[in-house]
């Protein structure tokens, strides 16, 4: 991500309880809509020794670059999404265009919110 990103528009996304392929699918969808701090070549990889993995990336939701279509997942993905209220809402809308999204929990602060989402094939 470039240094001109607006901090209030940045959203940190952490994916867990899923395969590296499903994590890659979710990140591909988000990269098709928003600028990301990771390149397409920086794909999720399994942890050594078969340990559980959490994959993370930061997205700048200032500008929307496109609209994702429905995307298939092999299984349900848990996404922890943290950022400013409007930024999280923009990111969630992009996810909802590609997946069925259910909110599992939310914690709100003055400037940010943290939302746990469950993503399934739409």
The predicted model scores a pTM of: 0.86
pLDDT(5) > 60: no
Q: Assess if residue 2 is contained within a domain.
A: no
Q: Please give the average per-residue pLDDT across 97-108, as a whole number.
A: 93
Q: Assess if residue 68 is contained within a domain.
A: yes
Q: Please give the average per-residue pLDDT across 21-49, as a whole number.
A: 84
Q: How confident is the model at residue 6 (pLDDT cuts 50, 70, 90)?
A: low
Q: Assess if residue 60 is contained within a domain.
A: yes
Q: Assess if residue 111 is contained within a domain.
A: yes
* Confidence (pLDDT) at 1: 46
**Cα(118)–Cα(100) distance, integer angstroms:** 8
Q: Assess if residue 1 is contained within a domain.
A: no
Q: Structurally, how many domains does the chain consist of?
A: 1
* Confidence (pLDDT) at 33: 94
Q: Assess if residue 59 is contained within a domain.
A: yes
Three-class DSSP category at 45:
coil
**6/56: higher pLDDT:** 56
Which residues neighbour 47 within 8 Å (Cβ) at sequence distance 6 or greater?
53
Q: Assess if residue 35 is contained within a domain.
A: yes
Q: How confident is the model at residue 42 (pLDDT cuts 50, 70, 90)?
A: confident
pLDDT(72) > 50: yes
Q: Which domain holds residue 115?
A: 7-121
Q: Assess if residue 67 is contained within a domain.
A: yes
Half-sphere CA count of 31, side-chain side, radius 13 A: 17
């Amino acid at each position: 991500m470039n240094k001109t990103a607006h901090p209030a528009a940045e959203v940190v996304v952490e994916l867990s309880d899923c395969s590296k392929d499903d994590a890659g699918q979710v990140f591909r969808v988000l990269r098709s809509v928003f600028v990301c701090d990771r390149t397409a070549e920086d794909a999720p990889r399994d942890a050594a020794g078969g340990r559980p993995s959490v994959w993370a990336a930061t997205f700048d939701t200032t500008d929307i670059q496109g609209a994702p279509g429905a995307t298939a997942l092999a299984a349900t993905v848990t996404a922890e999404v943290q950022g400013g209220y409007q930024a999280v809402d923009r990111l969630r809308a992009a996810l909802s265009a590609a997946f069925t999204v259910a909110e599992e929990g939310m914690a709100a602060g003055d400037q940010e919110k943290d939302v746990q989402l469950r993503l399934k094939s739409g």
